[in-house]
Amino acid sequence: MRPENQSSVSQFLLLGLPIPPGQQGVFFTLFLGMYLTTVLGNLLIILLIRLDSRLHTPMYFFLSHLAFSDISLSSVIVPKMLINMQTGQQSISYVGCITQLYFFILFAGLDNFLLAVMAYDRYVAICHPLHYTTIIREGLCVLLVAGSWILSCVHDLLHTLLLVRLSFSADNTIPHFYCDLAALLKLSCSDVSLNKLMIFTEAGMLFSLPFGVILGSYIRIGTIMLRVPSAKRLFKTFSTCGSHLSVVSLYYGTAAGVYFFSSSWGSKDIIASVMYTVVTPMLNPFIYSLRNRDIKQALEMCVNRVKFFKQQTLNPLVAVRSIER
């Protein structure tokens, strides 16, 4: 970076959540519990998919990457927020802010692409069941996930590089609990017209295309279901797509609340941002585990294995103690 393009500030101040001083401990415990639930829940999903051979299918392959992305997205935001709440320090360094923004855009975009890939997988499974194994091959699954990572990285790198060329004024207060791109652009004293143009064109296109794939997939699924209406078939389709539809509704509903319907840093924007960055990644494992029979069976089998190994380790000890007596 050239010296004349460097930021005029070395750090930013995050206003954080508007929590009364007497309730800081309560909210710290609440958000810490939610973060630990997010990490442990999604790690459990990844572990079950890894251990159970019955879950070695394209749908669960995509789900494991979505779980990893949710862990990463939450880890980019929540730990810093918790540290600020505990210490009372609201500052974040310039490098730390840019780094947080970089990974936030990366994993938010990755979620967007993975949800579209999973919708396409459900479309093929329901609308072309006889050709599913020939269409959704292992090579295609790897290609779709790799493409999602590559597109997310390129999109992320583009907006980060456009941001670091800007200079910032002495007013370095970010009215948020994390480094948000729109908030940083408002603080800049440089010309941000190119940044805004890229947000409305490139970012808008990369958001619209996956959403279009999801919408088109479910419209096609609905059309197929209505051609031959059957209660059994509808129930099977809902059980197959219900979890994904719930996650899609949470993701795009909260994202729309943060980036399309928010006007200022008010109570509604705070709730939408917390839902998008904290609550949604936490709920995803519950949605997939509570409404998915395969995950339940894999979890039950894993618990039974743990019990079996525990009994095997305890039995020799019991035998030794009986001999000693």
Segment 90-114 shows an average pLDDT of 92
Least confident of 40-49, 160-169, 204-213, 249-258: 249-258
Residue 295 has a pLDDT of 78
Q: What does the pLDDT look like over 222-244, one tens digit per residue?
A: 888 777 666 666 766 776 677 78
Q: What does the pLDDT look like over 29-53, one tens digit per residue?
A: 999 999 999 999 999 999 988 888 8
- Residues contacting residue 291 through CB under 8 Å, at least 6 positions apart: 239, 242, 243, 246
Please say if the pLDDT value at position 220 is more than 60. yes
Please say if the pLDDT value at position 149 is more than 80. yes
On whether the CB atoms of residues 67 and 45 are closer than 8 A, the answer is yes
Query: In the chain, where are the structural domains located?
Result: 11-296
Query: What is the enclosing helix (H) or strand (E) of 128?
Result: none
322 confidence band (pLDDT: 50, 70, 90): low
Cα gap 256→130, rounded to integer Å: 37
Helix 94-127 vs helix 58-87: angle between axes, to the nearest 10 degrees? Answer: 150
Residue 290 has a pLDDT of 64
Domain 11-296, what architecture?
Up-down Bundle (1.20)
pTM: 0.85
Per DSSP, the residues of 65-106 read HHHHHHHHHHHHHHHHHHHHHHH---EEEHHHHHHHHHHHHH
Residue 298 has a pLDDT of 77
Residue 267 has a pLDDT of 55
Cα gap 237→223, rounded to integer Å: 12
